[in-house]
Structure 1
Amino acid sequence: MSDCVFCKIVNNEIPSDKVFENDHVMAFLDIAPSSPGHTLVIPKEHYADLTETPDNVLAELSKTVKKIGPKIVSAVDAKGFNLLSNIKEVAGQVIFHTHIHIIPRFEGDGLKHWPKIELSKEKIEEIKEEIIENITK
């Protein structure tokens, strides 16, 4: 897509701090990182989000995350990392090109877990049944 910033990065129209590249995938440092080493892993082909990305491309993304995630952690002396992919605007997606965030984590970094909500057993059962019904359609 001509107006996609990640496509422009893939096509070398915009510079990036690239840390990894192969025939299918590219990884580069986020320009607005949540932590040191915050890296984005993207397919070179344009897909809007993970739900629209073909399985073989998802496999390449996963292999890349598995390969470089621990190397990033080691390079920045982190203790672990989070994987994140925002899907759709309501979930915080800003660039509509599939990407996975590798966010290195450090002791006392202040990044907290998702807040927990209370649901009744009945509501959990209702949600479960709705999900199963949608999966089996």
Structure 2
Amino acid sequence: MTLFQKIIDREIPAYIIYEDEFTLAFLDITQATPGHTLVIPKTATDSFMSADIETLAHVQATAQHVAKKLQVALNVNDFNIISNAGPLSGQTVFHYHVHIIPRYSDKDLIIEHGSHADAIESIYQKINTNTK
């Protein structure tokens, strides 16, 4: 059982700011920025990659609703909406979740991007050759 399932089952406390039949939203204990919130489905699935289309739709709709709620409550207009999928992406809890991270400046969250522009043509070819 994951940490998030324990929150759903109310076995451990959380700062829940939204709940409906399918999803739950609560403040992330790490607070990358003030208001950093997680949205999770109540039905467990490992990640964005394993979630069915209905779960994806519910989580995204809740993420938008909660972001609008944060926008008003915290007087913030910009957000990062992120879902890590797999250990190399930084996923540490293997229950699909979306981070809503309010942005107050361009320096409060740093995502480093490497330079792979020189390989863009070969990457494009791999994607179009090896996938439907």
TM-score of the superposed pair, with normalisation by structure 1: 0.89
The 5 A counterparts of 1:45-60 are 45-60=43-58
Q: Relative to structure 1, is the Cα distance of residues 67 and 110 closer, same or farther in structure 2, using a 3 angstrom cutoff?
A: closer
What does 1:26-65 correspond to in 2, within 5 Å?
A: 26-65=24-63
Matched to 1:127, the amino acid is I
Aligned to 1:15: 13
Counterpart for residue 86 of structure 1: 84
2:129 equivalent in structure 1: 133
Aligned partners of 1:37 and 1:103 also within 8 Å: yes
1:108 offset after TM fit, Å?
Answer: 5.4
Gaps of 5+ in 1: none
Q: Could you tell me how far 1:109 is from its partner in structure 2?
A: 4.5
Number of matched pairs: 132
Cα pair 1:79 1:107 within 8 Å, conserved: no
Q: Is the 8 A contact 2:45 2:96 kept in 1?
A: yes
Structural RMSD (CA): 1.5
Cα deviation, residue 87, structure 1:
0.9
**Does the aligned pair in 2 maintain the 1:40–1:101 contact within 8 Å?**
yes
Percent identical: 35
> How much does 1:16 deviate?
0.7
Q: TM-score, normalised by structure 2?
A: 0.92
